[in-house]
Amino acid sequence: MQLVATVLIDGASSKDLQFDYAVPAEWAGKAKPGMRVRIPLRNRQAIGTITAVREEADHPERPAGRGGKRTFALKPIAGVLDEAPLLTAPLLKLAEWISGYYLASRDSTLKAMIPQPVRSEEKGEKTRKNVRLVYEPDLETLESLKKRAPKQAELVEFLISRPGQQGLLADLTGLSGFGRPSITALEKAGMVVVEDEVVTRDPFADEVFVQSAPMALNPEQERSRARIVAAAAEAETERPPRPILLFGVTGSGKTEVYLQAIQRVVDEGRGAIVLVPEISLTPQTADQFKKRFAAMQDQVAILHSHLSAGERHDEWRKVLRREARIVIGARSAIFAPVENLGLIVVDEEHENTYKQESPPRYQARDVAVVRGHLEKCAVVLGSATPSLESWKNALTGKYERLDLTQRVDDRELPLIRVIDMRLETRKNRGLAILSSKLRESIESRLADRQQVILFLNRRGFARSLICPECGLVMECRHCSLALTYHREEDKLICHLCGYAQVTPRKCPECGGRAISLAGFGTEKVEAVLNEVFKGARIARIDTDTMRRKNDLKLTLNAFKAGKTDILIGTQMIAKGLHFPNVTLVGILNADIGLHIPDFRASERTFQLLTQVAGRAGRGELKGEVVVQTFTPHAPAVQFARHHDYTGFAEQEIQLRERLEFPPFRHLAMITSRSVHRERAEFSLQTLHRRMKRHLPDGLTITEPLPSPLIRSHDQWRFQFSMRGANAKRLTGHIGGVLGPLSFPEDVIVTVDMDAHNLS
For ligand ADP, the binding residues (CB under 6 A) are: 215-218, 221, 248, 250-256, 408-409, 578
CB atoms within 10 A of CB 498: 10
Q: How far is the CB of 292 from ligand ADP (least distance, A)?
A: 10
Considering the complex, state which of residue 183 and residue 577 has its C-beta at the smaller distance from ligand ADP. Answer: 577
Let me know the angle formed at the C-alpha of 656 by 654 and 661, rounded to the nearest 5 degrees: 155
Considering the complex, state which of residue 499 and residue 648 has its C-beta at the smaller distance from Zn ion. Answer: 499
Query: Could you say which of ligand ADP, Zn ion, none residue 494 binds, taking C-beta under 5 to 8 angstroms by partner kind?
Result: Zn ion
Considering the complex, state which of residue 255 and residue 435 has its C-beta at the smaller distance from ligand ADP. Answer: 255
Query: Could you say which of ligand ADP, Zn ion, none residue 217 binds, taking C-beta under 5 to 8 angstroms by partner kind?
Result: ligand ADP
- Residue with smallest beta-carbon separation from ligand ADP: 253
**C-alpha–C-alpha distance, residues 173 and 320, integer Å:** 36
Q: How far is the CB of 714 from Zn ion (least distance, A)?
A: 8
CB 354, CB 277: distance < 8 Å: yes
Considering the complex, state which of residue 267 and residue 410 has its C-beta at the smaller distance from ligand ADP. Answer: 410
CB 405, CB 249: distance < 8 Å: yes
Is beta strand 500-502 parallel, antiparallel or unpaired with respect to 491-493? Answer: antiparallel
Query: Could you say which of Zn ion, ligand ADP, none residue 685 binds, taking C-beta under 5 to 8 angstroms by partner kind?
Result: none
Query: Could you say which of ligand ADP, Zn ion, none residue 221 binds, taking C-beta under 5 to 8 angstroms by partner kind?
Result: ligand ADP
Considering the complex, state which of residue 252 and residue 522 has its C-beta at the smaller distance from ligand ADP. Answer: 252
DSSP type of residue 64: T
Q: How far is the CB of 254 from ligand ADP (least distance, A)?
A: 4
Let me know the angle formed at the C-alpha of 274 by 401 and 105, rounded to the nearest 5 degrees: 100
Q: How far is the CB of 286 from ligand ADP (least distance, A)?
A: 13
Query: Could you say which of Zn ion, ligand ADP, none residue 653 binds, taking C-beta under 5 to 8 angstroms by partner kind?
Result: none
User: Rg of the Cα trace of the chain?
Assistant: 30
- Site residues for Zn ion per CB under 5 A: 476, 478-479, 494, 496-497, 499
Query: Could you say which of Zn ion, ligand ADP, none residue 117 binds, taking C-beta under 5 to 8 angstroms by partner kind?
Result: none
Q: How far is the CB of 709 from Zn ion (least distance, A)?
A: 10
Q: How far is the CB of 453 from ligand ADP (least distance, A)?
A: 15
Considering the complex, state which of residue 172 and residue 479 has its C-beta at the smaller distance from Zn ion. Answer: 479
Q: Would you report the helix, strand and coil content of the chain in percent, each value rounded to 5? A: 35, 25, 40
CB 31, CB 5: distance < 8 Å: yes
Element (H, E) at 737: helix 727-738
Three-state DSSP string of 73-138: CCCECCEECCCCCCCCHHHHHHHHHHHHHCCCCHHHHHHHHCCHHHHCCCCCCEEEEEEEECCCCC
Q: How far is the CB of 744 from Zn ion (least distance, A)?
A: 24
Considering the complex, state which of residue 272 and residue 474 has its C-beta at the smaller distance from Zn ion. Answer: 474
Query: Could you say which of Zn ion, ligand ADP, none residue 499 binds, taking C-beta under 5 to 8 angstroms by partner kind?
Result: Zn ion
Considering the complex, state which of residue 4 and residue 616 has its C-beta at the smaller distance from ligand ADP. Answer: 616
H helix count then E strand count, the chain: 22, 31
Peptide bond into 504 cis (omega under 30): no
Phi, psi of 547 (to 5 degrees): -85, -35
Name beta bridge partners: 195.
130
Q: How far is the CB of 499 from Zn ion (least distance, A)?
A: 5
Q: How far is the CB of 256 from ligand ADP (least distance, A)?
A: 4
Considering the complex, state which of residue 303 and residue 476 has its C-beta at the smaller distance from Zn ion. Answer: 476
The DSSP code sequence of 141-190 is HHHHHHHH-HHHHHHHHHHHHSGGGEEEHHHHHTTT---HHHHHHHHHTT
Residue 645 to residues 387, 628, 631, 651, Cα–Cα distance (Å) = 11, 20, 19, 10
Considering the complex, state which of residue 242 and residue 254 has its C-beta at the smaller distance from ligand ADP. Answer: 254
All residues at 6 or more sequence positions from 457 whose CB lies less than 8 Å from its CB, including other chains: 570, 571, 589, 592, 593, 608
Q: How far is the CB of 216 from ligand ADP (least distance, A)?
A: 6
Query: Could you say which of ligand ADP, Zn ion, none residue 738 binds, taking C-beta under 5 to 8 angstroms by partner kind?
Result: none
Considering the complex, state which of residue 409 and residue 657 has its C-beta at the smaller distance from ligand ADP. Answer: 409
Query: Could you say which of ligand ADP, Zn ion, none residue 309 binds, taking C-beta under 5 to 8 angstroms by partner kind?
Result: none
Query: Could you say which of Zn ion, ligand ADP, none residue 435 binds, taking C-beta under 5 to 8 angstroms by partner kind?
Result: none
Pick left, alpha or beta for residue 227 (phi over 0 → left; psi -120 to 50 → alpha; otherwise beta): alpha
Q: How far is the CB of 451 from ligand ADP (least distance, A)?
A: 16
Q: How far is the CB of 562 from ligand ADP (least distance, A)?
A: 17
Considering the complex, state which of residue 291 and residue 478 has its C-beta at the smaller distance from Zn ion. Answer: 478
**Angle between helix 219-234 and helix 254-267 axes, rounded to 10 deg:** 40
Three-state DSSP string of 496-562: CCCCEEECCCCCCCCCCCCCEEECCCHHHHHHHHHHHCCCCCEEEECCCCCCCCCHHHHHHHHHHCC
**C-alpha–C-alpha distance, residues 433 and 573, integer Å:** 19
Query: Could you say which of Zn ion, ligand ADP, none residue 248 binds, taking C-beta under 5 to 8 angstroms by partner kind?
Result: ligand ADP
The CA-to-CA distance between both ends of the chain, in Å, stands at 55
Query: Could you say which of Zn ion, ligand ADP, none residue 196 binds, taking C-beta under 5 to 8 angstroms by partner kind?
Result: none
